[in-house]
Amino acid sequence: MENIGSLIPSLDSLLSKLGLICRILILAGPIILLGFGLYYFLLPPKEANHSAGYRFAYGMRKVKSWRFMQRVAGTVYSVLGLVLTVVMAFQCQRLGSMDVVAMLWFAVKCIFWELVSIVAASFIINAVVMLVYDSQGNNRAEMRELFKEYDEEEYINSL
């Protein structure tokens, strides 16, 4: 009969792999974000749908607003993904000199700041789309120009 303790991996091999696992967890988010950003920018879906692409109500009414929203999301997510990948790659260099608990907490802090920056980027994308398009998908600047063509009386009489 074999010793049950031989089935458990040695603590040294487990701790040596912990650094690699922390590095993978820290770098996975920014690399995935960079991939989504490039996808939204280079290969966005042609029309608004509920399965692929960056979705926000203001950009889903018309094709023009949908394409604009995909470009903005692609640009913001690509830049943020690239910046986070570089920053987190430099941060991963610090993991080698840390003990196990400090390494785990450092990984948790990095992942937290990645999530905060992704949420902030989503708010920025939504704000830009809301500034340019209204809830019906009409370009606000084009609507202002359209209403400038009418004088007040003519506009009121047309209602």
**Both tokens of residue 155?**
């506009």
Q: Is residue 21 part of a domain?
A: yes
Question: What residue type is 146 in one-letter code?
Answer: L
More confident residue, 159 or 90: 90
Q: Is residue 2 part of a domain?
A: no
Range of the domain at 104: 11-158
Going by C-alpha positions, the residue among 47, 23, 33 that lies closest to residue 79 is 33
pLDDT digits (tens, 9 = 90+) for 46-105: 888 777 888 888 888 888 888 999 999 999 999 999 999 999 999 998 887 888 888 899
Q: What's the structural domain count of the chain? A: 1
Q: Is residue 63 part of a domain?
A: yes
Q: Is residue 121 part of a domain?
A: yes
Contact 37, 77 (CB under 8 A): yes
Q: Is residue 3 part of a domain?
A: no
pLDDT digits (tens, 9 = 90+) for 13-35: 666 788 888 899 999 999 999 99
Q: Is residue 79 part of a domain?
A: yes
Residue 120 has pLDDT above 70, yes or no: yes
H-type helices in 93-139, by residue range?
Answer: 100-132
Residue 5 has pLDDT above 90, yes or no: no
Q: Is residue 1 part of a domain?
A: no
